[in-house]
């Protein structure tokens, strides 16, 4: 028996129970065939009029005219575009809610809601960069495992000189979380020996990632000294932990690469982001996140963007709409713009892995998920081909985060998919034109997630 389901006309599909209990509840889509879609693989290639067979939350095969599964469940995606779910490799979960920003929001419920928001926007994984107590991060990870329809959650131990690290406003909030919960958020290090010991302890606690801040915040903080970050990177390498860096200066980047770090969470793509630096990073397989939206979007009236509306409480909308600080059509400085365009061209020529990251949640009003789509638009504006921007948000992000099951449409990968009504390879803004999102083969109930906004 073969029956055809058009998702658009049958939104009730999720959760339906068929007679005999073959397809029921969370197993509703245990075996199904997506047909006739354009498949954006995630590695820079596209297959047109292809089918995708999914079983138990995994992609089983890709091909033309695949036979229907024995469940008979076939989803016609004629005219649609299917791509791997997006990945945000730099965010800070827990502090931003749908109403406000700050330490008071930091709890398991809000962390989970942040992940739901990412799911709504088609994300399959998020890396929270050094602002989560391990205990809460582990509870969230357990929630992700149990629900099986949330994006993967990765987290890091944040290291800096004692009492330093995040931007001063955020530092105060992480301190409040620490005070309120009694759980450690940041790990202060003072010398190479204690730094090595701290890394060993963190490895034993189960951390897979370290985040280090190498920044004096305009003279307001103590910068992590080279001998300390070298000790951190060396010990982390021995213990199998990845080290991601917040930094401001290209000169620091060269030394940090020599120290053995794995990636940069703020690229600072400017004149001093030289071919030599790019070549060194590329040779060492170090990635770079430009993180440009963080600076740009705070000058824009994003509260008036329909794509963000589902997550804007009245209060949040007001704070993000047009004001003396936020403009409907912000103007980008021509000099800075040409510097960035030149930097992007050097990155492309040098073959350096540019990875999508947003820093969402680190400051008030830099929303989860939405900012990822906007960041991709910035990459394309600066000269990247849309298909390469999508690669930075899928296979390249997955590779550098060690997410083996994500980032590609290929047999054995998780069926975490973003289905679009229009072609994002011709216009990157079409990533907004979301038809549906699947995580581990389960359709995300996007309207239910959006409906919780107060």
Q: Which CB, 23 or 140, lies closer to Zn ion?
A: 140
- Judged by DSSP in three states, 328 sits in coil
Residues 6+ apart with CB under 8 A from 95: 101, 102, 103, 105, 106, 131, 170, 173, 361, 362
Looking at the chain, how many residues does it have? 454
- Minimum separation from the CB atom of position 89 to Zn ion (A): 11
Q: Which CB, 248 or 274, lies closer to Zn ion?
A: 248
- Minimum separation from the CB atom of position 90 to Zn ion (A): 6
- Give the integer Cα–Cα distance in Å for 186 and 246: 14
Q: At what angle do helices 192-204 and 226-239 cross, to 10 degrees?
A: 30
Which one of residues 75, 129, 288, 437 is an interface residue with Zn ion (CB under 5 A)? 129
Q: Which CB, 51 or 215, lies closer to Zn ion?
A: 215
- Give the integer Cα–Cα distance in Å for 145 and 112: 12
- Minimum separation from the CB atom of position 137 to Zn ion (A): 15
Residues 6+ apart with CB under 8 A from 157: 130, 134, 187, 202, 205, 207, 209, 210, 211
- Give the integer Cα–Cα distance in Å for 255 and 307: 41
- Minimum separation from the CB atom of position 71 to Zn ion (A): 43
- Minimum separation from the CB atom of position 171 to Zn ion (A): 12
Q: Which CB, 31 or 366, lies closer to Zn ion?
A: 366
Q: Are the C-beta atoms of 323 and 304 separated by less than 8 Å?
A: no
* Binding map of Zn ion across residues 86-125, x = CB under 5 A, - = no contact: ----------------------------------------
Residues 6+ apart with CB under 8 A from 14: 28, 29, 442, 443, 445
Stretch that binds Zn ion, among 178-186, 348-356, 362-370, 412-420 (CB under 5 A): 362-370
Q: Which CB, 233 or 362, lies closer to Zn ion?
A: 362
- Minimum separation from the CB atom of position 129 to Zn ion (A): 5
- Minimum separation from the CB atom of position 121 to Zn ion (A): 19
Stretch that binds Zn ion, among 76-84, 299-307, 356-364, 380-388 (CB under 5 A): 356-364
Q: Which CB, 359 or 445, lies closer to Zn ion?
A: 359
Residues 6+ apart with CB under 8 A from 357: 88, 89, 90, 91, 127, 265, 289, 291, 375, 397
Stretch that binds Zn ion, among 174-182, 361-369, 394-402, 414-422 (CB under 5 A): 361-369
- Minimum separation from the CB atom of position 62 to Zn ion (A): 36
Q: Which CB, 57 or 158, lies closer to Zn ion?
A: 158
- Minimum separation from the CB atom of position 265 to Zn ion (A): 6
Stretch that binds Zn ion, among 129-137, 182-190, 277-285, 298-306 (CB under 5 A): 129-137
Q: Does 359 interact with Zn ion (rule: CB under 5 A)? A: yes
Stretch that binds Zn ion, among 5-13, 26-34, 149-157, 351-359 (CB under 5 A): 351-359
Q: Does 41 interact with Zn ion (rule: CB under 5 A)? A: no
Q: Which CB, 392 or 414, lies closer to Zn ion?
A: 392
Between the alpha carbon of residue 196 and those of residues 157, 159, 200, the distances in Å are 14, 12, 6
Stretch that binds Zn ion, among 58-66, 99-107, 352-360, 384-392 (CB under 5 A): 352-360
- Minimum separation from the CB atom of position 161 to Zn ion (A): 17
Number of residues that bind Zn ion (CB under 5 A): 3
Q: Does 362 interact with Zn ion (rule: CB under 5 A)? A: yes
Give the CA-trace dihedral at 319, 321, 322, 323, to 10 degrees.
0
- Give the integer Cα–Cα distance in Å for 406 and 39: 15
DSSP one-letter string for 241-299: -EEEEEE--HHHHHHHHHHT--EES----STTS-HHHHHHHHHTT-EE----HHHHGGG
Q: Which CB, 13 or 212, lies closer to Zn ion?
A: 212
Residue 420: burial class (beta carbons within 10 Å; 0-12, 13-18, 19+): buried
Residues 6+ apart with CB under 8 A from 279: 350
Q: Which CB, 113 or 215, lies closer to Zn ion?
A: 215
Q: Which residues bind Zn ion (CB under 5 A)?
A: 129, 359, 362
């Amino acid at each position: 028996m073969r029956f055809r389901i058009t998702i658009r006309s049958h939104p009730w599909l999720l959760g339906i129970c068929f007679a005999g209990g073959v397809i029921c509840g969370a197993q509703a889509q245990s075996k199904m065939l997506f047909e006739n879609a354009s498949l954006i693989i995630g590695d820079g290639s596209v297959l047109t009029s292809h089918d995708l067979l999914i079983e138990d939350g995994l992609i089983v095969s890709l091909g033309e005219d695949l036979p229907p599964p024995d469940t008979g469940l076939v989803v016609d995606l004629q005219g649609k575009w299917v791509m791997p779910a997006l990945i945000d490799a730099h965010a800070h979960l827990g502090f931003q809610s749908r109403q406000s920003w700050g330490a008071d929001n930091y709890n398991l419920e809000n962390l989970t809601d942040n992940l739901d928001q990412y799911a709504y926007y088609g994300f399959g994984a998020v890396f929270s960069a050094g602002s989560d107590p391990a205990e809460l991060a582990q509870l969230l990870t357990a929630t992700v495992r149990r629900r099986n329809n949330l994006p993967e959650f990765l987290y890091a131990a944040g290291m800096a000189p004692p009492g330093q690290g995040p931007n001063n406003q955020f530092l105060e909030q992480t301190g409040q979380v620490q005070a309120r919960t009694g759980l450690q958020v940041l790990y202060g290090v003072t010398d190479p020996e204690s730094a090595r010991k701290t890394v060993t302890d963190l490895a034993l606690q189960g951390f897979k990632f370290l985040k280090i801040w190498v920044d004096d915040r305009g003279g307001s903080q103590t910068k992590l000294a080279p001998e300390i970050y070298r000790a951190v990177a060396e010990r982390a390498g021995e213990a199998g932990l990845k080290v991601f860096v917040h930094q401001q200066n290209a000169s620091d980047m060269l030394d940090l690469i020599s120290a053995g770090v794995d990636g940069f969470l703020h690229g600072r793509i400017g004149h001093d982001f030289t071919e030599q630096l790019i070549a060194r990073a590329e040779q060492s397989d170090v990635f770079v996140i430009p993180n440009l939206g963080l600076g740009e979007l705070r000058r824009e009236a994003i509260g008036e963007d329909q794509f963000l509306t589902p997550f804007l409480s009245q209060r949040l909308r007001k704070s993000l709409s047009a004001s003396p600080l936020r403009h409907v059509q912000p103007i980008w400085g021509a000099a800075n713009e040409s510097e960035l365009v030149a930097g992007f061209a050097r990155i492309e020529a040098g073959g350096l892995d540019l990875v999508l990251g947003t820093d969402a949640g680190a400051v008030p009003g830099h929303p989860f998920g939405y900012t990822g789509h906007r960041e991709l638009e910035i990459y394309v504006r600066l000269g990247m081909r849309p298909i390469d921007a999508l690669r930075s948000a899928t296979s390249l992000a997955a590779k550098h985060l060690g997410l083996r099951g994500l980032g590609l449409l290929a047999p054995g990968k998780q069926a975490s998919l973003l289905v679009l009504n229009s072609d994002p390879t011709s216009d990157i803004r079409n990533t907004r034109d979301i038809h549906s999102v699947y995580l581990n083969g389960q359709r995300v109930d996007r309207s239910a997630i959006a409906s919780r906004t107060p």
